[in-house]
């Protein structure tokens, strides 16, 4: 367990890495005694600093929703981070690649809430009832630490969230079978990844139910109007300046963007 001062220093290091676009040594190596609780509290301090500078939390992201990623990270559950308003992009965006350290893209679904969600005991049907809209989304993941990374490094680093892009066709949650949304991700005209949303814990809303119950443990909740990235159902794809991206969600439309 870290002291309050060590948590504060770690959060400041991550903020500096983000500001200077230069990775820092892994916090887990700088502070070998770091626990998962420490990592989430460091994330809290990072978020508080960003909010103090004018950013606004508009939702959450969920990571490590696939069993393969959990095994690779030696975890038995997902992790989560915050989504800030300044990191939201729309379909057709031209995004500066140098705004990130080593950006990668993942294919996801985003849930827009019409009601507050609070644990304990939240389930998939509670999430579906509280969801107004579901929309295709791409997450840009980015790490501010060196490799190899421990799970505590990723959590402290806001669960590797960089930015997100929304587009395609907005649907009500009961209009389609949310488990079976398929998508392909193309880079410069070549399909790099494909997947189906059931890969996210069997149902994309299952990850959100997990998040609601996890937030309850720290006296927090999801709020009406917030957006939640439910987790990737493809492997991450490396991107750099000059890349043109097209994500095709079939009946749910597509998302296009480019990196400059």
pLDDT per position as a tens digit, 21-70: 999 999 999 999 999 999 999 999 999 999 999 999 999 999 988 765 66
pLDDT at 100: 96
Checking if the pLDDT of 73 tops 70, the result is: no
Rounded Cα–Cα distance for residues 157 and 171 (Å): 32
Mean pLDDT throughout 238-243? 98
- Which ranges of the chain does DSSP label H, i.e. alpha helix? 4-20, 27-30, 36-52, 67-72, 124-129, 151-156, 204-216
pLDDT at 72: 62
Q: Which residues lie below 8 Å from residue 175, measured CB to CB, with a gap of 6+?
A: none
CATH number of 57-259: 3.90.850.10
Other CB atoms within 10 Å distance of the CB of residue 22: 10
| The two structure tokens encoding residue 130 | 């509280």
What confidence tens digit (pLDDT) does each residue in 163-215 have?
Answer: 999 999 999 999 999 999 999 999 999 999 999 999 999 999 999 999 999 99
pLDDT at 238: 97
Can you name the residues that pair with 136 across neighbouring β-strands? 109
Rounded Cα–Cα distance for residues 112 and 135 (Å): 8
Q: Which residues lie below 8 Å from residue 185, measured CB to CB, with a gap of 6+?
A: 105, 107, 138, 191, 192, 193, 194, 234, 237, 245, 246, 247
Q: What count of residues does the chain have?
A: 260
What confidence tens digit (pLDDT) does each residue in 102-117 have?
Answer: 999 999 999 999 999 9
Positive or negative CA dihedral for 241, 161, 30, 32? negative
Q: Where are the domains of the chain?
A: 57-259
pLDDT at 69: 65
């Amino acid at each position: 367990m870290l002291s309050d001062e060590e948590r504060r220093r770690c959060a400041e290091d991550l903020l500096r890495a983000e500001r200077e676009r230069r990775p820092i040594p892994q916090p887990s190596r700088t502070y070998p005694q770091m626990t998962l609780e420490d990592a989430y509290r460091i994330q809290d301090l990072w978020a508080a600093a960003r909010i103090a500078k004018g950013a606004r939390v508009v939702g959450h992201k969920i990571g490590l929703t696939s069993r393969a990623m959990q095994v690779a990270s030696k975890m038995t559950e997902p992790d989560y981070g915050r989504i800030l308003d300044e990191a939201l992009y729309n379909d057709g965006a031209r995004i500066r690649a140098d705004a990130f350290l080593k950006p990668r893209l993942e294919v996801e679904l985003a849930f827009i809430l019409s009601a507050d969600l609070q644990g304990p005991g939240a389930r998939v049907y509670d999430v579906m009832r509280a969801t107004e809209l579901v929309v295709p989304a791409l997450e840009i993941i980015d790490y501010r630490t060196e490799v190899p990374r421990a799970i505590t490094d990723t959590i402290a680093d806001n669960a590797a969230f960089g930015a997100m892009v929304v587009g395609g066709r907005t649907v009500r949650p009961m209009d389609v079978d949310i488990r079976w949304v398929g998508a392909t991700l193309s880079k410069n005209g070549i399909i790099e990844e494909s997947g189906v949303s059931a890969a996210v814990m069997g149902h994309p809303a299952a990850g959100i139910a997990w998040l609601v119950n996890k937030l309850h443990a720290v006296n927090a909740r999801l709020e009406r109007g917030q957006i939640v990235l439910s987790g990737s159902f493809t492997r991450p794809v490396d991107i750099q300046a000059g890349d043109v991206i097209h994500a095709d969600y079939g009946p749910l439309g597509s998302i296009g963007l480019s990196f400059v």
